[in-house]
Amino acid sequence: MRDPVDVQAVRRHFAFPTLGRIATNNAASTQPPRELVALYQSLAPGYENVHRGQSSASQEMTALFEESYDTIARFVGASGRDGIALYRNTTEAINAVMYSLLTEFREGDNVVTTTMEHNSNYVPWYAMCREILPRLGRRVDYRLARFDPHTGELDLDHLASLIDARTKLVCCTGASNFLGTRTPLRAVRALADASGYLQPTGERRSYLLVDAAQLVPGSFVDVRALDVDYLAFSFHKMLAPFGVGVLYGKPHLLAAALPFLYGGDMIAEGRVFPDRVDYNRLPWKYAAGTPNILGAVVSAQALRLLLDLALSPDRPAYFGTAEPIERSTVRAGMNRVSTWNRQLTGRALDGLGAIDGITIYGPRDPARRTSLVAFNLAGRDPVGVAEALNRAGIESRAGCHCATLAHHALGLTPPASCRLSFYLYNTPDEVDQAVAAVAAVAAGRPAGLDGPRERVAAR
């Protein structure tokens, strides 16, 4: 069978293979292709602010910036740029929803989330319920749905039992960054639909917010097919440099809600008076202050390049253009990424599963998970394991991965595990090297040679 991705051609777009790095910490952040770094530089001659100047440079930068919203909207299947707000990252995007909805929560309402969440999709709701709303004299509860500790799957019956007619919002991860589990989003949507909660818009159902930080980078996602109300993700986990995250929101919700940040450019031109302020049209109502302009442009181009790398890495077709991207192209490209990631993950699960004394967390079936594997070795401190892997040139991450509740739910003391995570530029050979290094650490043998730091320093 032909590989879904021409991985050697993909790798030629990146610097890390030439440095001898085995980049297997992709659930934290992915590596940037050379083209994107060059794109930053190529934007310098026309460097200007957006929506704030009459120069040709400003007009051109504004066009590039606005086009990036269209690319992002098409990539996730939104109806248009009206549904896209840009923030610094997933965390800020989820906080934006929290602050927007803060005033809408009524006394006695609740918000339901899960113990599988990244802290970014738990702590804001904790803070809203325990710290912010009580100071405003309002009592709102948060409820936590559990997962099955053996399978790593969300307990849908428990989730169903927590959702009721006072549940304004259900929040869940699209894929866990620790267990790897993909959430059955249609089932969660159905439960949120059935709550009967009366929203200010007149809709009778709970809103659904999906933390898609681990879902969008490796899957075909269609926000309208999933019928999510809000969805957040970060570009630094899908090839782009750090600094830009997306909040998709249904346009009618973004139009009706209070903005998260107030100030410049989010107001309608000339419509600010001592006794009244009118807000800008969407999506600029959610773009207060000078945005990360170059970051937005480069991030949207990262989506184009990701599709190119998946579909035809030697002949990029979408990168560097503003061509509308068909849904079928996004589907084809992202299906290739997810198939490749699944093959790598299956290989890692098989290899790691054969190691004595290893505990692997989450579903065993690679089709039920995203491209990461977290594990512990009996009697070994996970941070020490990750350090030993680094000495063997294998990049991993140990800690709680900000999925602290899930580590506690599994009774892990300290709440930590070691995690390997893969992306479309990783090879089966790299997976095998990582597995061999974990096996060596588990057996108490030295895991390897010089770490990448020494190799990079020796250049």
Separation CA 156–CA 137 (nearest Å):
32
Whether 129 is catalytic is no
Do residues 40 and 33 make contact, with C-beta atoms less than 8 angstroms apart? no
Closer residue to ligand PMP, CB minimum distance, 114 or 214: 214
Distance of CA 138 to the CA centre of its chain: 31
Separation CA 75–CA 67 (nearest Å):
12
Q: Which of 179, 245, 87 lies closest to 401, judged by CA?
A: 179
Do residues 408 and 355 make contact, with C-beta atoms less than 8 angstroms apart? no
- Shortest approach of ligand PMP to residue 89 CB, angstroms? 3
Closer residue to ligand PMP, CB minimum distance, 424 or 441: 424
- Shortest approach of ligand PMP to residue 234 CB, angstroms? 3
Closer residue to ligand PMP, CB minimum distance, 110 or 120: 120
Closer residue to ligand PMP, CB minimum distance, 31 or 59: 31
Indicate the helix (H) or strand (E) that contains 314: none
Please tell me whether residue 36 adopts helix, strand or coil conformation: helix
- Shortest approach of ligand PMP to residue 137 CB, angstroms? 31
Closer residue to ligand PMP, CB minimum distance, 120 or 167: 120
What are the distances in angstroms from CA 397 to CA 92, 116, 142, 374, 417? 23, 18, 30, 9, 8
Separation CA 69–CA 354 (nearest Å):
46
- Shortest approach of ligand PMP to residue 242 CB, angstroms? 8
Separation CA 401–CA 141 (nearest Å):
25
- Shortest approach of ligand PMP to residue 457 CB, angstroms? 28
What residues make contact with ligand PMP under the rule CB under 6 A? 89-91, 118, 120, 173, 177, 211, 213-214, 234, 245, 402
Query: Which residues are identified as catalytic?
Result: 402
